[in-house]
Amino acid sequence: MKNACLIIIIAIVIVAGCQNPSLITAPVTQSSVVEDRSESHWGSYIPWGFYNLEIGRDGSYAYVTPNRSANEMWGYHMNVVKLLEVSPCTNCVTLSNVHVLTNGDVSVDISLRHPYYDRRYTGFDVRGIIMFPASQYYPDDNIRALMGLDPYTQEWKLRIANHEYGDAELMNPDGWINAWSTFADIMSWDYTWYLDFMPEDLPIFQYYDGKIASGEDLSTMSAYIRYHSTEVRHMFEVGKTEMRTYIIRPPASGPIQASYAVYAHWYPADVVPVTDPANDFPPEANSPLPYEFYVTQDAPLDPDAPYDLTIESIHWHIKTWSIGRDYWTSRVSDMGFSGNSGTSPVQHPSGDPDDYKVKADYFTMYPLIDDGLPGKWPILCNLGVYNPKDIVPGNAIARETCIVYFDYAAADGEW
């Protein structure tokens, strides 16, 4: 599994599904736009569609079918599939150029067409999320056993697709997200408060049975690839179609099977009708999360080295649209969840404006694993973002976590 990023979205889903002619032809007025301009609100994630994929491991075929599962913990009981199956948006997602690479991975181009024609539905920070049947868990009891720890007994666990466990896996992710996952089996939090924000007068919220249901073993921590039609605010403009290439490691046996969801971030425009999306939408239309986030190291981490030297050898690369580091917090944890630590990121001495460092324990209990060092081990580097509109900052409104496979040097006492 390569370095990648998980996003945990604490957001409210406002409008969902694909193209509805009644939404396109309705008069464009400020009152016709669903909105919530409370001081603590920072945009929402709008699902553009949910699908099932099946791709031959030999590259001989690829199918995409609309999926009905819109009633998840992060969603709402919505008429997503009726719009997908009976409206012109049945081909919003298409697969092409499927072929096998020399290493056995399968390459497939997934094209996404914007489902609306009205500029007030311009998408920002759009993600195409792919959810495979998954066998690895976080916390990982296999790794905990190597550390000499008992299995993790708390209620929550995240499920991850990892080819090392026999699963299909996306090998070139832009990040990871757990929006639209089946949270009932991993979380017990009460999210019914989001119902207060659901509009009652849109046909999209009238439920309609679809053709296919999602699997119960899908990842709850899923890889995604970003889509945008312009670098300006990473907008996905109406009337546009964008293509991205997905490199997939096939499962241990059988075809590649997955669910696929498309999410766009959105907030009501300040100016309606929208003629200049880049300027007509406020900053809240973009995700509060970084539009680039990854963590790198200069050299193998040495458990004997001085702490300050270890910290400066690790670089947190963070680019955001509008919420700066005054509202960031960080945590670092091993995959076994033996412990976690961290501080707010501070500017790295390198001088790069997007380069930060975090004081944390990047070793946790890995040095205690017999013959574990030197070696390569995963660390979760978590970045939380607070809402700058909150009078008193509370819980982070969104979190992104890179899974970083760090190289570790031997614990040989050279320092």
Tens digit of each residue's pLDDT (9 = 90 or more) over 347-364: 999 999 999 999 999 999
Q: Looking at residue 23, what is its pLDDT?
A: 29
Q: What sign has the CA pseudo-torsion 296, 300, 301, 306?
A: negative
Query: Which of 10, 121, 44, 73 shows the shortest CA–CA distance to 287?
Result: 44
Q: Looking at residue 246, what is its pLDDT?
A: 98
16 pLDDT above the threshold of 60: no
Rounded to 5 degrees, what are φ and ψ at 178? -120, 15
Cα(111)–Cα(97) distance, integer angstroms: 11
Cα(152)–Cα(139) distance, integer angstroms: 7
* Stronger pLDDT, 392 or 268, i.e. the higher one: 268
Q: Which pTM was predicted?
A: 0.81
Report the mean per-residue pLDDT for the chain.
Answer: 78
- The model's confidence at residue 80, banded by pLDDT at 50, 70 and 90, is very low
* Residue labelled with tokens 């070793």: 363
- Residues of the chain above pLDDT 70, percent: 74
Tens digit of each residue's pLDDT (9 = 90 or more) over 284-303: 999 988 999 999 999 999 99
- The model's confidence at residue 369, banded by pLDDT at 50, 70 and 90, is very high
Cα(127)–Cα(177) distance, integer angstroms: 9
Cα(44)–Cα(61) distance, integer angstroms: 35
Q: Looking at residue 392, what is its pLDDT?
A: 60
Q: What sign has the CA pseudo-torsion 157, 134, 76, 110?
A: positive
Query: What residues does each domain of the chain span?
Result: 4-285, 292-408
79 pLDDT above the threshold of 80: no
Cα(310)–Cα(308) distance, integer angstroms: 5
Q: Looking at residue 346, what is its pLDDT?
A: 95
Residue pair 89/82 in contact (Cβ under 8 Å)? The answer is no
